[in-house]
Chains A and B, each alone.
Chain A
């Protein structure tokens, strides 16, 4: 080696590089008051800020969000808009929409107001959809995250558990659970959560398995982070985009499941839901098709809105995709 240096004194041919490094250090406007003033003062900027900007520039997601907000507002205002029981018989049966100004969306075969049913049905459908998804997400994360993160025998045990639930057709299991546990909004919600969590668990497990091998997880371990911190703060945020998309679709499918249950007469008999309205209207499908079509259309649009929102969230929550969109 021609360059004989013991580390401390700089050999001649690196002096130039050192000098450059020193020069660039001086140039760096680290304490430029103007720059500092222009820089955003509050730090850290909440991550939601960037995500929100991306989301608000996505027209499809905004449409979905607007529709969902409208449905949500309607659901919240139902007691104000239609204070009476939506299951009460209020008029002549089978009035077509537009025939009677008092019942703008008509009445069903028992003389119940369709508009009141739709508004009150939104409460039940959304409640069941969202609550069941929360149940499914909680179960899915609780099982999928440790299975994927720890691997080994924990993974094998938890995967068997997932497979037990997956081996039974979801809807059959749902019908059985609801039939045994007496249909009510609470039991239906829990039952839907119980049959949907394996999807989330498998997704979470796959994501965690892939991400735990990433070098930043090793780096996180090298600075002394515990398992819980790595799971919640390092891996989960990176696994979130597909989970959120799946969750928004799960809300939609939970609404559909509740509708299907209600259509089969396994819904909560004390409340009106979109599914039970379709179920009640099917006997008049040829003569009064609006009885099934109106709640059907509402379900279709709600599910579509949830899917649009899910896609939008996926783009917004992934900083890399978000950055590409901005260019």
Chain B
């Protein structure tokens, strides 16, 4: 496996906030990397930054962003535009508003094909029907003439995916692709993404707050907290034996973790405080909500420590306890 995307020390700042700080990650070819985090953890901004679509007020800095052997930071706006949609595509959270309401869906797919593959109008229209078939829009030849408001939410998200994968990008960024959909559709859409990933040998950056999605569809997962990577692991590691106090808290808070437990059986466990508690302060952003703080946690961000194969945790405290007790500490 070769590294497709290599991001080092990505930071995003607004005039009065720094929502993403020194985030580093890599994606290998054909891999699904999930970024999980709660609202405000900076995961969507990370996705937008990768495509250079951040709002104008945002400042982005990074030590390195290499994609398929190219330095993305060195590209001009014009060069970057050619990359978008062709090599690097994105799907959005809200399929209701992410399609142009006045163009038939087939025309919207065809437009991408004409731009990136240089197809003629007719060839693009034919190919668009094939792409709609690929994302399993029923009766694509007829559906191609439908307008977005005539489709269901799931079908619209399929069209969004069709537009994104039409030019066979090598990396697809999916920003909460199923949040606006109901659960059965959610499984279908994620299955579709998994299949397209295999068929088109495309890597997937899946941004989500749903741990169930991570468990089933990701190869590797990064947990973000307040714009910092707190843990990186394989999904079964993160969900089975979380190492960082934040991910431990998350797992403990999920009622699904206890077999046969219903939320009416007793109080739900929650992590005290909220994500904004440590805004602008030095040290670990989770420190105000953490049960294991040491004095050093308040002064500097703990470094990411490699605990096991392919696993990084940004907490010296639980890592040390881990060694002495040989057992994860629950909350």
Contact = CB atoms under 8 A, between A and B. Distances in A.
Contact of A35 (B142, B149, B150, B259): B142
B138 A29 contact: yes
Given A5-B216, A30-B140, A215-B98, A233 B187 contact: no
Interface residues of B, number: 69
A225 B51 CA distance: 13
Interface string A305-327: 00000000000001110010000
Contact of B94 (A7, A18, A215): A215
Nearest to B103: A237
Given A1-B251, A223-B84, A224-B86, A21 B191 contact: yes
Contact of B106 (A7, A17, A44, A237): A44
Interface string B287-307: 000000000000000000000
Nearest to B110: A44
A222 B89 contact: yes
A220 interface: yes
A222 B116 CA distance: 13
Interface string A24-48: 0100111010011001100111010
Given A18-B187, A221-B53, A1 B236 contact: yes
B85 A7 contact: no
A216 interface: yes
A45 B85 contact: no
B110 to A, nearest CB: 8
Contact of A39 (B110, B141, B164, B235): B141
A238 B100 CA distance: 8
Q: Decide if the interface of chain B is mainly helix, strand, loop or mixed.
A: helix
Nearest to A216: B100
Contacts of B70: none
Contacts of B240: 1, 4
Contacts of B219: 6-7
Interface string B121-157: 0000100010001001011111011010110000000
Given A216-B101, A223-B112, A237-B103, A2 B125 contact: no
Given A223-B116, A323-B149, 5 more contacts: A1-B236, A3-B212, A7-B219, A43-B125, A215-B94
Interface of B: 32, 51, 53, 56, 81-86, 89-90, 92, 94, 97-104, 106-107, 110-112, 115-116, 125, 129, 133, 136, 138-142, 144-145, 147, 149-150, 160, 163-164, 167, 184, 187-188, 191, 194, 211-212, 215-219, 234-236, 239-240, 251, 254, 256-257, 259
